[in-house]
Amino acid sequence: MSEAVTWYLVIMWCFFGLIVSHQPQRLNGEFLTKELQGGLESVFYSACRKTSWLLLKLFQRKIMQMSTGALLLLLPWFGGLVLGEISDDFSQCLNFFYEKTPPEGINAAGYQPICQRYKNQYRFASLYHRQHRGPLYSAYILSPADGKRPSPIWKYEPQLVSYKASPEMQPFTTPNTVNSDVMKSQAVSQDYAHSGFTKGHLNPSMHQKTIVDREATFTLTNIVPQQRGSNEGTWAPLEKEVLGRFKAFCKGSMYVITGAMPYESESRWINNRVSVPEYMWSAYCCPSYRSDLPDSVKPFFPTYAAVGRNDRNSGEEIVPLDPKADTRVRGYDVRQMSLETLEGILKTRLKMPVSLFKGHCK
Protein backbone atom coordinates (compact mmCIF):
# COMPACT_ATOMS: atom_id res chain seq x y z
CA MET A 1 0.00 0.00 0.00
CA SER A 2 1.47 3.39 -0.99
CA GLU A 3 2.20 6.08 1.60
CA ALA A 4 -0.40 8.35 0.03
CA VAL A 5 -3.14 5.72 0.37
CA THR A 6 -2.09 4.97 3.95
CA TRP A 7 -2.33 8.60 4.99
CA TYR A 8 -5.57 9.01 3.12
CA LEU A 9 -7.09 6.14 5.13
CA VAL A 10 -5.75 7.52 8.42
CA ILE A 11 -7.20 10.94 7.68
CA MET A 12 -10.51 9.42 6.64
CA TRP A 13 -10.68 7.46 9.91
CA CYS A 14 -9.95 10.48 12.06
CA PHE A 15 -12.34 12.71 10.17
CA PHE A 16 -15.04 10.09 10.60
CA GLY A 17 -14.43 10.05 14.35
CA LEU A 18 -14.40 13.83 14.42
CA ILE A 19 -17.69 14.19 12.61
CA VAL A 20 -19.65 11.32 14.14
CA SER A 21 -18.43 11.52 17.72
CA HIS A 22 -17.41 15.07 18.47
CA GLN A 23 -18.46 17.95 16.24
CA PRO A 24 -22.11 18.93 15.71
CA GLN A 25 -21.42 21.27 12.80
CA ARG A 26 -20.74 20.09 9.29
CA LEU A 27 -17.15 20.37 8.15
CA ASN A 28 -16.41 23.37 5.99
CA GLY A 29 -13.38 25.36 4.89
CA GLU A 30 -13.61 27.80 7.80
CA PHE A 31 -13.81 24.98 10.34
CA LEU A 32 -10.86 23.10 8.81
CA THR A 33 -8.72 26.23 8.72
CA LYS A 34 -9.47 26.90 12.39
CA GLU A 35 -8.57 23.34 13.36
CA LEU A 36 -5.35 23.45 11.35
CA GLN A 37 -4.36 26.64 13.14
CA GLY A 38 -4.76 25.39 16.67
CA GLY A 39 -7.34 22.73 17.38
CA LEU A 40 -5.51 19.56 16.43
CA GLU A 41 -4.26 18.83 19.93
CA SER A 42 -7.75 18.68 21.44
CA VAL A 43 -10.17 17.85 18.65
CA PHE A 44 -8.33 15.57 16.27
CA TYR A 45 -6.65 13.68 19.10
CA SER A 46 -10.00 13.13 20.72
CA ALA A 47 -11.53 11.92 17.46
CA CYS A 48 -8.61 9.53 16.94
CA ARG A 49 -8.22 8.48 20.56
CA LYS A 50 -8.08 4.80 19.65
CA THR A 51 -5.09 5.36 17.34
CA SER A 52 -1.60 5.02 18.74
CA TRP A 53 0.17 8.12 20.06
CA LEU A 54 3.03 7.79 17.56
CA LEU A 55 0.65 7.50 14.63
CA LEU A 56 -1.21 10.57 15.82
CA LYS A 57 1.98 12.63 16.00
CA LEU A 58 2.85 11.55 12.47
CA PHE A 59 -0.72 12.27 11.44
CA GLN A 60 -0.58 15.79 12.88
CA ARG A 61 2.70 16.55 11.07
CA LYS A 62 1.33 15.19 7.82
CA ILE A 63 -2.03 16.89 7.92
CA MET A 64 -0.42 20.25 8.73
CA GLN A 65 1.42 19.95 5.41
CA MET A 66 -1.85 19.59 3.51
CA SER A 67 -3.74 22.54 2.15
CA THR A 68 -7.28 23.31 3.12
CA GLY A 69 -8.26 22.63 -0.45
CA ALA A 70 -6.79 19.14 -0.25
CA LEU A 71 -8.64 18.44 2.97
CA LEU A 72 -11.87 19.59 1.41
CA LEU A 73 -11.52 16.82 -1.14
CA LEU A 74 -12.47 14.47 1.70
CA LEU A 75 -15.79 16.17 2.37
CA PRO A 76 -17.89 14.26 -0.21
CA TRP A 77 -17.27 11.16 1.89
CA PHE A 78 -18.73 12.75 5.02
CA GLY A 79 -20.78 15.78 3.99
CA GLY A 80 -24.09 14.23 5.00
CA LEU A 81 -23.04 13.24 8.51
CA VAL A 82 -23.82 15.36 11.54
CA LEU A 83 -23.49 14.73 15.23
CA GLY A 84 -26.53 12.99 16.60
CA GLU A 85 -27.80 11.31 19.70
CA ILE A 86 -26.53 7.81 18.97
CA SER A 87 -22.90 6.87 19.59
CA ASP A 88 -20.72 4.21 21.19
CA ASP A 89 -20.58 6.24 24.39
CA PHE A 90 -22.06 9.36 25.97
CA SER A 91 -19.28 11.68 24.81
CA GLN A 92 -21.74 14.40 23.71
CA CYS A 93 -23.63 14.54 27.00
CA LEU A 94 -21.25 13.55 29.79
CA ASN A 95 -22.35 16.58 31.80
CA PHE A 96 -25.41 14.62 32.98
CA PHE A 97 -23.15 12.24 34.91
CA TYR A 98 -21.26 12.97 38.12
CA GLU A 99 -17.62 13.77 37.29
CA LYS A 100 -18.61 13.26 33.63
CA THR A 101 -18.42 9.51 34.20
CA PRO A 102 -21.29 7.20 33.16
CA PRO A 103 -22.02 4.09 35.25
CA GLU A 104 -19.25 1.54 34.98
CA GLY A 105 -19.47 -2.21 34.61
CA ILE A 106 -22.40 -2.36 32.17
CA ASN A 107 -20.89 -4.02 29.14
CA ALA A 108 -23.43 -6.48 27.78
CA ALA A 109 -24.35 -6.48 24.12
CA GLY A 110 -27.48 -4.73 22.94
CA TYR A 111 -27.16 -1.52 24.98
CA GLN A 112 -27.20 1.75 23.05
CA PRO A 113 -26.18 5.08 24.62
CA ILE A 114 -28.51 7.93 23.64
CA CYS A 115 -27.88 11.61 24.25
CA GLN A 116 -31.47 12.78 24.36
CA ARG A 117 -31.56 15.80 22.07
CA TYR A 118 -34.60 18.06 21.70
CA LYS A 119 -34.89 21.50 20.11
CA ASN A 120 -31.16 21.58 19.40
CA GLN A 121 -30.01 20.85 22.96
CA TYR A 122 -29.12 17.74 24.92
CA ARG A 123 -31.63 17.34 27.76
CA PHE A 124 -30.55 14.08 29.46
CA ALA A 125 -28.98 10.70 28.70
CA SER A 126 -30.40 7.17 28.41
CA LEU A 127 -28.88 3.73 28.03
CA TYR A 128 -31.29 1.93 25.71
CA HIS A 129 -31.66 -1.82 25.28
CA ARG A 130 -32.50 -2.54 21.66
CA GLN A 131 -33.86 -6.04 22.24
CA HIS A 132 -36.01 -4.97 25.19
CA ARG A 133 -37.15 -1.83 23.33
CA GLY A 134 -36.72 0.18 26.48
CA PRO A 135 -34.11 1.97 28.59
CA LEU A 136 -32.00 0.34 31.27
CA TYR A 137 -31.60 3.78 32.82
CA SER A 138 -31.86 7.51 32.25
CA ALA A 139 -29.41 9.98 33.80
CA TYR A 140 -30.16 13.63 34.43
CA ILE A 141 -29.49 16.63 36.63
CA LEU A 142 -32.45 17.38 38.86
CA SER A 143 -33.89 20.87 38.49
CA PRO A 144 -37.30 21.66 40.04
CA ALA A 145 -40.02 22.39 37.49
CA ASP A 146 -41.00 26.02 37.00
CA GLY A 147 -44.47 25.10 35.77
CA LYS A 148 -46.99 22.36 35.27
CA ARG A 149 -46.62 18.96 33.67
CA PRO A 150 -47.03 19.45 29.90
CA SER A 151 -49.60 17.64 27.82
CA PRO A 152 -47.76 14.58 26.51
CA ILE A 153 -46.65 14.58 22.89
CA TRP A 154 -44.90 11.24 22.54
CA LYS A 155 -41.69 11.00 20.59
CA TYR A 156 -39.28 8.43 19.18
CA GLU A 157 -35.56 8.27 18.38
CA PRO A 158 -34.93 8.43 14.59
CA GLN A 159 -31.31 7.34 14.84
CA LEU A 160 -32.28 3.99 16.31
CA VAL A 161 -33.57 3.38 12.78
CA SER A 162 -30.64 4.91 10.90
CA TYR A 163 -27.55 6.88 11.85
CA LYS A 164 -28.33 9.16 8.91
CA ALA A 165 -31.72 10.14 10.32
CA SER A 166 -32.53 13.31 12.26
CA PRO A 167 -30.29 13.81 15.31
CA GLU A 168 -33.29 14.92 17.39
CA MET A 169 -36.19 13.02 18.90
CA GLN A 170 -39.28 13.36 16.74
CA PRO A 171 -43.01 13.28 17.57
CA PHE A 172 -45.24 10.50 16.32
CA THR A 173 -47.13 12.56 13.77
CA THR A 174 -49.71 9.84 13.06
CA PRO A 175 -49.99 7.68 16.19
CA ASN A 176 -51.97 4.93 14.48
CA THR A 177 -49.69 4.71 11.43
CA VAL A 178 -46.05 4.29 12.37
CA ASN A 179 -43.25 3.55 9.94
CA SER A 180 -42.37 -0.15 10.03
CA ASP A 181 -38.66 0.59 10.49
CA VAL A 182 -39.44 2.70 13.55
CA MET A 183 -41.56 -0.13 14.97
CA LYS A 184 -38.75 -2.64 14.46
CA SER A 185 -36.21 -0.47 16.25
CA GLN A 186 -38.10 0.73 19.34
CA ALA A 187 -41.33 0.89 21.30
CA VAL A 188 -44.29 2.81 19.90
CA SER A 189 -47.46 4.09 21.51
CA GLN A 190 -49.52 1.16 20.18
CA ASP A 191 -47.46 -1.20 22.33
CA TYR A 192 -48.97 0.36 25.44
CA ALA A 193 -52.56 0.47 24.21
CA HIS A 194 -54.76 -1.95 26.19
CA SER A 195 -51.65 -3.40 27.85
CA GLY A 196 -52.72 -2.66 31.40
CA PHE A 197 -49.48 -0.71 31.97
CA THR A 198 -48.81 3.00 32.16
CA LYS A 199 -45.90 4.75 30.47
CA GLY A 200 -43.42 5.03 33.34
CA HIS A 201 -40.89 7.86 33.13
CA LEU A 202 -37.34 7.15 34.26
CA ASN A 203 -36.51 10.85 34.02
CA PRO A 204 -39.75 12.37 35.34
CA SER A 205 -40.96 15.60 33.78
CA MET A 206 -41.34 17.36 37.13
CA HIS A 207 -37.62 16.90 37.80
CA GLN A 208 -36.91 19.21 34.86
CA LYS A 209 -37.07 22.99 35.13
CA THR A 210 -38.17 24.41 31.79
CA ILE A 211 -41.19 23.48 29.73
CA VAL A 212 -38.90 22.36 26.90
CA ASP A 213 -36.90 20.10 29.23
CA ARG A 214 -40.13 18.62 30.54
CA GLU A 215 -41.44 18.03 27.01
CA ALA A 216 -38.23 16.15 26.18
CA THR A 217 -38.97 13.51 28.83
CA PHE A 218 -41.96 12.34 26.79
CA THR A 219 -39.94 10.11 24.52
CA LEU A 220 -40.52 6.37 24.57
CA THR A 221 -36.76 5.85 24.92
CA ASN A 222 -37.23 7.23 28.47
CA ILE A 223 -40.23 5.01 29.23
CA VAL A 224 -40.83 1.51 30.59
CA PRO A 225 -44.10 -0.37 31.21
CA GLN A 226 -45.06 0.44 34.79
CA GLN A 227 -48.04 -0.73 36.78
CA ARG A 228 -50.35 2.13 37.75
CA GLY A 229 -50.11 1.19 41.43
CA SER A 230 -46.36 1.61 41.20
CA ASN A 231 -46.23 4.63 38.89
CA GLU A 232 -48.87 6.80 40.54
CA GLY A 233 -49.17 5.05 43.88
CA THR A 234 -45.68 4.61 45.34
CA TRP A 235 -43.03 5.76 42.85
CA ALA A 236 -44.41 9.29 42.38
CA PRO A 237 -44.17 9.99 46.14
CA LEU A 238 -40.53 8.85 46.06
CA GLU A 239 -39.83 11.31 43.24
CA LYS A 240 -41.41 14.09 45.31
CA GLU A 241 -39.39 13.08 48.37
CA VAL A 242 -36.12 13.22 46.42
CA LEU A 243 -37.14 16.62 45.05
CA GLY A 244 -37.81 17.80 48.60
CA ARG A 245 -34.38 16.66 49.78
CA PHE A 246 -32.77 18.51 46.92
CA LYS A 247 -34.59 21.76 47.71
CA ALA A 248 -33.94 21.58 51.44
CA PHE A 249 -30.39 20.25 51.70
CA CYS A 250 -28.53 20.09 48.38
CA LYS A 251 -26.31 23.12 47.71
CA GLY A 252 -25.19 22.20 44.21
CA SER A 253 -26.14 19.81 41.44
CA MET A 254 -27.97 16.57 42.16
CA TYR A 255 -27.15 13.83 39.66
CA VAL A 256 -29.88 11.23 39.34
CA ILE A 257 -29.86 7.84 37.61
CA THR A 258 -33.17 5.99 37.45
CA GLY A 259 -33.60 2.64 35.84
CA ALA A 260 -35.55 -0.57 35.34
CA MET A 261 -34.64 -4.06 36.50
CA PRO A 262 -35.77 -6.93 34.26
CA TYR A 263 -37.05 -10.25 35.55
CA GLU A 264 -34.28 -12.61 36.54
CA SER A 265 -35.48 -15.68 34.68
CA GLU A 266 -38.54 -15.57 32.45
CA SER A 267 -38.99 -12.21 30.73
CA ARG A 268 -42.37 -10.49 30.59
CA TRP A 269 -43.52 -8.46 27.59
CA ILE A 270 -46.28 -6.18 26.42
CA ASN A 271 -47.47 -6.72 22.87
CA ASN A 272 -44.74 -9.39 22.62
CA ARG A 273 -42.31 -6.55 21.96
CA VAL A 274 -41.50 -4.39 24.99
CA SER A 275 -39.86 -5.81 28.10
CA VAL A 276 -41.66 -5.28 31.42
CA PRO A 277 -39.36 -4.61 34.42
CA GLU A 278 -39.90 -6.43 37.68
CA TYR A 279 -38.50 -3.51 39.67
CA MET A 280 -37.82 0.19 39.31
CA TRP A 281 -34.66 1.64 40.86
CA SER A 282 -33.16 5.06 41.40
CA ALA A 283 -30.08 6.66 42.96
CA TYR A 284 -28.85 10.20 43.39
CA CYS A 285 -25.55 11.92 44.05
CA CYS A 286 -25.43 15.32 45.76
CA PRO A 287 -21.74 16.02 46.39
CA SER A 288 -22.33 19.48 47.86
CA TYR A 289 -24.86 19.68 50.69
CA ARG A 290 -25.54 21.58 53.87
CA SER A 291 -23.04 21.08 56.66
CA ASP A 292 -25.71 21.37 59.34
CA LEU A 293 -27.79 18.38 58.31
CA PRO A 294 -30.16 17.10 60.99
CA ASP A 295 -29.12 13.69 62.30
CA SER A 296 -32.24 12.15 60.77
CA VAL A 297 -31.19 13.38 57.31
CA LYS A 298 -27.48 12.55 57.38
CA PRO A 299 -27.90 8.98 56.03
CA PHE A 300 -29.41 10.44 52.83
CA PHE A 301 -26.28 12.38 51.78
CA PRO A 302 -24.29 12.52 49.64
CA THR A 303 -26.03 9.50 48.08
CA TYR A 304 -29.09 7.39 48.58
CA ALA A 305 -31.12 4.97 46.53
CA ALA A 306 -34.36 3.05 46.27
CA VAL A 307 -35.94 0.02 44.61
CA GLY A 308 -39.67 -0.23 43.91
CA ARG A 309 -41.78 -3.25 43.08
CA ASN A 310 -43.50 -3.34 39.68
CA ASP A 311 -45.08 -6.74 40.25
CA ARG A 312 -47.37 -7.50 43.18
CA ASN A 313 -46.46 -11.17 43.03
CA SER A 314 -42.68 -10.79 43.22
CA GLY A 315 -40.81 -12.27 46.15
CA GLU A 316 -39.78 -10.25 49.18
CA GLU A 317 -36.03 -10.76 48.98
CA ILE A 318 -35.39 -7.32 47.48
CA VAL A 319 -38.41 -5.30 48.62
CA PRO A 320 -40.56 -6.61 51.49
CA LEU A 321 -44.34 -6.21 51.46
CA ASP A 322 -46.24 -3.95 53.79
CA PRO A 323 -49.41 -5.88 54.68
CA LYS A 324 -50.99 -2.69 56.04
CA ALA A 325 -50.66 -0.76 52.78
CA ASP A 326 -53.77 0.55 51.05
CA THR A 327 -55.21 -2.00 48.65
CA ARG A 328 -54.62 0.36 45.71
CA VAL A 329 -50.86 0.26 46.18
CA ARG A 330 -50.40 -3.00 48.08
CA GLY A 331 -47.62 -5.02 46.52
CA TYR A 332 -45.93 -1.99 44.94
CA ASP A 333 -43.78 -1.13 47.93
CA VAL A 334 -40.65 1.02 47.67
CA ARG A 335 -37.59 0.25 49.78
CA GLN A 336 -35.06 3.02 50.31
CA MET A 337 -31.45 1.94 50.79
CA SER A 338 -27.82 2.94 50.54
CA LEU A 339 -26.13 3.31 47.17
CA GLU A 340 -23.92 0.32 47.97
CA THR A 341 -26.95 -1.87 48.67
CA LEU A 342 -28.54 -0.94 45.36
CA GLU A 343 -25.32 -1.62 43.47
CA GLY A 344 -25.14 -5.03 45.13
CA ILE A 345 -28.66 -5.84 43.97
CA LEU A 346 -27.89 -4.68 40.43
CA LYS A 347 -24.71 -6.74 40.39
CA THR A 348 -26.67 -9.86 41.32
CA ARG A 349 -29.59 -9.27 38.98
CA LEU A 350 -27.74 -7.90 35.95
CA LYS A 351 -24.70 -10.16 36.41
CA MET A 352 -22.47 -7.08 36.12
CA PRO A 353 -20.31 -5.21 38.68
CA VAL A 354 -22.24 -1.94 38.40
CA SER A 355 -20.81 1.31 39.81
CA LEU A 356 -23.27 4.18 39.34
CA PHE A 357 -21.28 7.20 40.50
CA LYS A 358 -17.54 7.72 40.25
CA GLY A 359 -15.91 7.25 43.65
CA HIS A 360 -19.37 6.70 45.13
CA CYS A 361 -19.97 10.47 44.89
CA LYS A 362 -17.32 11.23 47.51
Three-state DSSP string of 191-217 = HHCCCCCEEEECCCHHHCCCHHHHHHC
Q: Is the per-residue pLDDT at 79 higher than 60? A: no
Fill in the amino acid letter for 336: Q
pLDDT of residue 176: 66
pLDDT in tens, 307-350: 999 999 999 999 999 999 999 999 999 999 999 999 999 999 99
| Averaged pLDDT score across all residues of the chain | 84
Which residues in the chain are classed under CATH 3.40.570.10? 94-361
Rounded to 10 degrees, the C-alpha dihedral 295/297/298/303 comes to 170
Q: What is the pLDDT of residues 176-188, one digit of tens each?
A: 678 999 999 999 9
What confidence score (pLDDT) does residue 84 get? 53
pLDDT in the model for residue 345: 98
pLDDT, tens digit, 9 for 90 and up, residues 28-56: 444 443 333 333 333 343 344 334 434 44
Q: Which pLDDT band, with edges at 50, 70 and 90, does 120 fall under? A: very high
- 7 φ/ψ angles, rounded to the nearest 5 degrees: -65, -35
Give me the architecture of the 94-361 domain, per CATH. 3-Layer(aba) Sandwich (3.40)
Average pLDDT of the residues in 261-274: 94
Is residue 352 over pLDDT 60? yes
For the chain, strand residue ranges (E) read: 111-118, 121-129, 134-141, 155-156, 170-171, 198-201, 223-226, 255-262, 268-270, 274-285, 303-309, 334-337
What digits encode the pLDDT tens for the residues 189-205? 999 999 999 999 999 99
